[in-house]
Amino acid sequence: MILELTEWIAATSMSQTIQNISWIIPTVQIVHILCVAIVMSSIGMIDMRLLGVSGKRQTIAQMAARYLPWIWWALLILACTGLILLIGEPGRDLPNPAFQAKMFMLISVIIITLIFQRTVKNNMHFWDETPARKVSAKLTAVVSLTLWVSIVIAGRWIAYTGG
């Protein structure tokens, strides 16, 4: 199924255009990486606060309000630029284990981030209220950081595990 989808995308005129104009893929990749920079730094600030490592002058809710919107907007651009790259080189991505792992981890971490956003929106002090929640805040941060770092590494690794 993946193979058929790959061939179908590769045959579209949009894919042909992206492949034939040499500057499109490098330029889109640059925009993609710059958005990764926004996401990673923003999530880093939030997670370091959740861990209690830095940013303690701000509440978790303040950190979330400052950095979460940047993460969502950057993710939107990442989805668009990622889609362009995928359409241009479907054979490089879709059958690629690094790409598949990246997408799986991405969906997982988006769900975690959405849950985090909801809890902090409904109750500003949610993560500070009980010792158990403080621990779960730290756990959330560790899982989030691990997933994001792995996503970046898997993303770069796509270039090496493709056919």
Select the span of 10-18, 26-34, 116-124, 126-134 touching another protein (CB under 8 A): 26-34
Select the span of 9-17, 22-30, 105-113, 136-144 touching another protein (CB under 8 A): 22-30
Among 118, 121, 125, 156, binds another protein (CB under 8 A): 156
- Using rule CB under 8 A, residue 20 touches another protein: no
Contacts with another protein by CB under 8 A: the residue count is 30
Contacts by 122-130, CB closer than 8 A, 24 or more apart: 124/59, 124/61, 125/59, 125/61, 127/50, 127/60, 128/60
Cβ neighbors of 138 (< 8 A, separation 6 or more) are 50, 51, 52
User: What value, to the nearest 5°, has the Cα angle with vertex 96 and ends 90 and 98?
Assistant: 125
Among 6, 15, 42, 119, binds another protein (CB under 8 A): 42
Compute how many other C-beta atoms are within 10 angstroms of the C-beta atom of residue 99.
20
Applying CB under 8 A, the residues found at the interface with another protein are: 25-26, 29-30, 33-34, 36-42, 44-45, 48, 54-55, 57-58, 66, 70, 149, 152-153, 155-157, 159-160
